Amino acid sequence: MDTSIDDFDPDYAGSIAQRAMRAMAEQRIPPTPNNFAVWFRYFAGTHDDLRNAIDLLIDHNRPFDGRINQDLFETYLDSNTSAAASETSDRLHGLMNAAREFLATAIADNHSQMKAISEVTEQGRAGVDPKTLVAQLMTELEQAATRATQLEAGFAEKTRELDVIRDSLSKSEERARTDMLTGLANRRALDEFLRKAQVTADWGEPLSVLMLDIDHFKSFNDNFGHGVGDQVLRLIARVLREKVRVQDLPARYGGEELIAVLPDADVAACNEIAERIRRAIAECTIKRRSTGEILPNISVSIGVAQYRAGEAIVDLIERCDRALYMAKGSGRNRVVTEHELDRTFAAG
């Protein structure tokens, strides 16, 4: 559901605005126009995908930092995406109208040709000179051929335009499912992938997730700036994309946290891939683009968990998240699986 808010009663809209402002204050979110638009929509209940994304963040006690706030707006409310969709819709309507006109013209031409042939037939029965009849038929055929050529050219032009629109729609869909900074799948694409993977997993196929967080990323940003931090995040996203399998989905979960969903992989297989990712990142050399300075090595902590048939996806993510924070709490730059959580719980 994504309904209009323009027709809201002023008092009702005012109450939603107050709730949005209170929530932003509680979450320490700057009251910028974009942030307010996100939270107004959240409390208005007019955008299910946005509400689900925020609820998941709240359930996992995620801080609404600048990156998450920007992701929420760009993914769910950015007017540029809506404008592009509107423009594409207008172009499609134009093509449909043109197609109807072409069809009407073709039908009219067909009727005209049938009428002309009938007239020639009647004239033949009336004893008109065959040479005259042949000349009339030749003239009608030439005119029909000319009209057919024009129609064919018109159809070819519209077909090319349709190909352009198809390409535009494909790119728009890809942008709507892609995180702007890292190029990975965004939360919308992640949620869709998880829902589909869950169906298969409930039939007995293994499904695992790994979640990684950049160690000491805040201090790195503080020391070198957010521009360098973004460069590091893109680097780690590239490593994640390269180390998972073709059938897996790497995505940005929020802030400096990335996630990968691994269908047909149990904890052991997921742990092996997570270790490859951790080692590859630890071995990366990061150079500051502006100065050529070699920066301190970056490491990541990773949590791994496997889906349990019948459970909610939020429970799987929460278990993976706890494994991640155990990895960070036990020294960082390591992988922790849910099995270690179980052992710790049993020992405690």
Annotated active-site positions, please? 256
CA distance 213 to 161: 45
Q: Which of these, 277, 327, 275, lies nearest to 301 by C-alpha position? A: 327
Token reading at 18: 């107050």
Where on the phi/psi map is residue 282: left (φ > 0), alpha (ψ -120 to 50), or beta? alpha
User: What Å distances lie between residue 7 and 123, 139, 288, CA to CA?
Assistant: 68, 62, 51
Query: Helix, strand, coil proportions of the chain in percent (round to 5)?
Result: 65, 10, 25
Joined tokens for residue 276: 């490859």
CA distance 184 to 90: 30
CA distances from 8 to 3, 4, 81 (A): 11, 8, 24
- Per the CB < 8 A criterion, the answer to whether 319 and 305 are in contact is yes
Q: What is the DSSP string of 44-106?
A: HT-BHHHHHHHHHHHHTT----HHHHHHHHHHHT-HHHHHHHHHHHHHHHHHHHHHHHHHHHH
Contacts of 216 (CB under 8 A, 6+ apart): 332
DSSP secondary structure of 150-181? HHHHHHHHHHHHHHHHHHHHHHHHHHHTB-TT
Which one-letter amino acid corresponds to residue 180? M
